[in-house]
Each structure stands twice: as structure tokens, then as C-alpha cells.
Amino acid sequence: MKFKAIVSKGKHGHMIDIIIVTYNAKNHLKRCVASIKRYTRNYRMTIVDNHSCDGTAEYLGSLRDVRLIRNGKNVGFSKAANIALQRTSGDYVVFVDDDARVVTRNWLPHLYRQIKGNPRIGIVGCKVILPNQRILCSDYFFYPAKDIRIGEIDQGQKNYVRECDALAGTCWLMRRQVFDQIGGFDESFFPDGFEDIDYCLRARLAGFKLIYDGKVTIVHDNLHRWGLPGKKSAGRLTFQKKWKKAIRRFPLSDSHPFDKDYYDGILLLNQKKFKSALHKFIKLERLDKRFSLPIYAALAYEGLGQDGRAVQSYRIAIKQFRKYASLNPLRILAYYRLSLLYRKMGLCSESISLAKAALRCCPADRFPWLQKYEL
């Protein structure tokens, strides 16, 4: 069945409302809108401008086929999205971030196929990558509310379709029934986010399922327009406070089996159960060599007092990170821990070289955080 025929059957005259909330991202928004127009048919687009002052208003004024909602101030994503939800009527709603771009042909029909046959599926999300082809997020854990593979180069390792714990709000297709049943986004998360993960948990409590479709890819420029880089966001703190007592209602059983074992291994590592953690990571590395697991094995070897093997694993990890991963905290941790081991072994020049490499990537005041193994 062709998607064009499906869309025409919506009880409101159309089925798909695409909603974009924007704030001071004119050039990114242009690319976002252009990509949607290039790869999408049969939809209605609504853009909510949170009082941008970078020329966005003039650009939006030039668009003739887009419904515009202008706010008198920056009210944040949640409130702006709620306004758009109240003023649209499609049976399905697509949210796309203003700094994201569609790159998969037939992306919308593909997401729709995942949701159309089961009324209990409330939201379908997709893989989100950075412009440098690194994975930004895919199917999320509800705790610690992040994708544990962030920064890895996309090699197809998350191209599956499955039910998941939570989805990043960069791009998702939602059944309007979810909004009708649980209401809009929680506006208390402004300005630091986490309203998407919160909404996923609320949808799950209401009985809806979440589906991740890794065959659809969105490129996200990942603009940071709020919060402080490197600091724990107010949104994260709000999320943790809100869900602290209810978090046990969301077991990890929905996660991909590989990710589940990966998470369990990290948990064992943080509990200082180094032998069990090492067995877990060795098993996972045998299953799939596309992932940079030596960093975890190195931490386990170090915890067991096997410094020689730890050094070897740290060196392998650094080599893999240079090739496959971005400058994320795990790469910095590898530099830092290997530097300490070299100093312990009396290799001063090697230790200093690695310490400088760590410093180039991360301020010195972050080292206590790294040393505590808070992964």
C-alpha cells in the first residue's frame, strides 16, 4: 500500500502534522525545512518560533506552505510544543528539532509502518547521528537516561527495529491519542531538556509502547542553546527528582540484549565487582567487535591489580577511540588512567604525555569525577 493513499484517509482531512519548535537557529532551520520538503510528501508543517532575534522571523515570513505560530518570548520547547499540539489536528504528529536534517528517503512512511498496525504503539523514534557520522542517540535507557554508545562512529550497529525504554525527541512520530490521553509535555523542564524522556515514561505508564527504528536516520547538529557544558543540567535534576520513587516500574527488559549486558557490566564495574565485570565485557567483545569495549576491560584489570593487562587494554582502547569514537569522557578517562599507571611504573615521560593529552580534552577540575569511575 502506498503511503500517499494512506495519508488521504485521515478523519481530519490529513493524518500527519510535522511540528518544529525553533529559537535562534535560522540557518539550521532552513536546512531542516529543506530536507523535510525534499524527502517527504503529504503532510502539514507547523513551525513555532520562540521569539528568535537572528532573522528567523524574516525567513519564516517567506514560507507560504507552512503554518506559523509566533510566541512573544522564549517559552521553551515543552510549552511551544503544547501550543502546537493544541492548534493542530492530525491523527499523527511528528516532532523534528530545528537543528536536525532528514537524510533517509521515505523516512515518514517507514516510521508510519511501525505504528499503524498496533494501537498500543504510541511513539516511534529513529537513529540520530552527528554530522561527523558519530552516533548521538538511538534507543535510550530510562536510567541513566542516555545512549551508552554515544560518540561511536555509525557502522550500522543500531540498525535494528525493536521496542525500547525511551526515545530521544530529536525526531519521532507520535499517535495523537497519546496526547489526548496523557496531555502535553511537562513545562517544568525548561530550559535544560529531558522533557522527551519524561514524556516517554508517562506514555509507557499509560500503556503505550515505544518503538525504535534504526533504519531511519536523522542528522542532528546538536546546538547547545541552554545549560552549561560539562555541568549537570537542571533538566536532569528535575527528571531524577520526579522519577526517583517510580523508576523501579521501568525494568531494563525492553532494551536490546547487547545493551542490557553492556549496562550490567558497567554496573558491576561501579560496584567494584571487577572479575564479574571483566567476564561480561570479554563476552560482549566476542559478540561484536565494532564497539570500543577495551576501556571497560582495562578498568576491570586495574581493579584486579593486573596492571600489565590494564596498560595493554588502555592502549588498545585509545587506539580504537582515535579511529572510531569522538572525544567523549571515556576517551579522556583512558588517557588519564593510563597516565596514572605509567607514573606508578616509573615511566614519567609517557605519563606526562598522556596527562597533557587528557588536559587538552578536559579541564583539570573534571579529573576527580573521572577518577571515581562515574561512567
From 143, 329, 150, select the one nearest 222 (Cα to Cα). Answer: 150
Written as one letter, the residue type at 155 is Q
Per-residue pLDDT, 141: 57
Q: Before 368, cis peptide (omega within 30)?
A: no
Q: How confident is the model at residue 80 (pLDDT cuts 50, 70, 90)?
A: very high
What would the pLDDT profile of 12-49 be if each residue is shown by its tens digit? 445 899 999 999 999 999 999 999 999 999 899 999 99
Query: Following DSSP, what letter does each residue of 143-210 receive, concatenated?
Result: SS-S-TTTTBB-SSTT--EEE-SEE-TTEEEEEHHHHHHH-S--GGGTTT--HHHHHHHHHHHTT-EE
| Average of per-residue pLDDT across 261-289 | 84
Q: How confident is the model at residue 229 (pLDDT cuts 50, 70, 90)?
A: very low
H or E segment and range at residue 171: strand 171-175
Provide the residue ranges of all domains of the chain, joining segments of one domain with +: 3-254, 257-371
Per-residue pLDDT, 1: 38
40 within 8 A of 14, measured Cβ to Cβ: no
Per-residue pLDDT, 369: 40
| Helix 257-270, helix 274-287: angle, nearest 10 | 150
Per-residue pLDDT, 172: 95
Q: Is 243 helix (H, G, I), strand (E, B) or coil?
A: helix
| Average of per-residue pLDDT across 224-246 | 67
pLDDT(288) > 70: no
Q: How many helices (H) and strands (E) does the chain have?
A: 15, 12
The CATH class, in words, for 257-371 is mainly alpha
- Compute the distance between CA of residue 102 and CA of residue 95 in angstroms, rounded to an integer: 12
Q: How confident is the model at residue 282 (pLDDT cuts 50, 70, 90)?
A: confident
Computed over every residue of the chain, the mean pLDDT equals 82
Residue predicted with more confidence, 256 or 245: 245
Per-residue pLDDT, 319: 81
- Compute the distance between CA of residue 257 and CA of residue 306 in angstroms, rounded to an integer: 29
pTM of structure: 0.74
From 121, 100, 81, 113, select the one nearest 36 (Cα to Cα). Answer: 100
Q: Residue 362 has which C-alpha cell?
A: 578536559
Handedness of CA 360, 99, 77, 22 (dihedral sign): positive
- Compute the distance between CA of residue 94 and CA of residue 10 in angstroms, rounded to an integer: 15
What would the pLDDT profile of 338-360 be if each residue is shown by its tens digit? 988 998 888 988 888 888 877 77
pLDDT(322) > 90: no
Q: Residue 24 has which C-alpha cell?
A: 535562534
pLDDT(4) > 50: no
What would the pLDDT profile of 166-211 be if each residue is shown by its tens digit? 898 999 999 999 999 999 999 998 877 789 989 998 999 899 999 9
From 66, 110, 77, 325, select the one nearest 199 (Cα to Cα). Answer: 77
Residue predicted with more confidence, 162 or 101: 101
Supply the Cα-derived Rg of the chain in whole angstroms. 22
Q: CA dist 193 to 34, 118, 176, 210, Å?
A: 26, 29, 22, 19
| Average of per-residue pLDDT across 83-108 | 96
| Average of per-residue pLDDT across 77-100 | 96
Per-residue pLDDT, 261: 79
Residue predicted with more confidence, 99 or 364: 99
Record: fold of 3-254: Spore Coat Polysaccharide Biosynthesis Protein SpsA; Chain A (3.90.550)
